[in-house]
Structure 1
């Protein structure tokens, strides 16, 4: 299972953080699960300032995430899904989204939670979507990673000797 070996993390008070979720619109069932998982994480961490922006597809995530970063959000959670088909479209969209979201984080010094599923088929996406029958909750994981990274960028993380 892809989630084996995932690091554990403690839930902390992130009530002072502002978080934007930018989510693709393709594959509604999967996206509803990813967005729900991200929102559950934000609630569990105590985030009270959040905003959801939907974009047409995964390819559009980086440009909107960049604008959100310029607006001063503490963290951005990018959610999308790309399912392999019979053309190279999968490779182009996955690379563009990944490279673009990395660039957002580096260019703006903002935490970006990467919740883009890159799957071979619909079942793999459903297994990772955080739905009642899913094995993993990648939306939750992306939001938690964004919050942990934002805490580190703020200098709030516990330091080890």
Structure 2
């Protein structure tokens, strides 16, 4: 694997993060400027969220968000939710995504999480192989999603 540094995101990572998210979700409407900066500030200001980035050769090449959700069952241990896992296309196949997931899972276990989970698009077979390699089990539980209704 290329020499990779994992760290928490900073405000000055905004443009690089937006580029990564466009690769993950190319059909989404543009989101930048002040609204994007405000959204990033909210994420970075949340004690429950760790927005992790991977740097290689002074570039942001991957990111993953971990939300630590308080929970009452299982002796009150929190649940880790991973979201928006993306490695830039030019950097895939180098082990960065797997190392990122392992790093983020270590953060979840350090936070006392009883489990970590993520959702993935049903047709993203390459991503699913990555998640299995990181220890996720796609057959143990089933995820369901409902999207917010379109604005009227």
Greater per-residue strand proportion: 2
Rg bigger for which structure? 2
Q: Same fold (TM over 0.5)?
A: no
| Greater relative contact order (CA < 8 Å, ≥ 6 in sequence) | 1
TM score, norm. by length of structure 2:
0.31
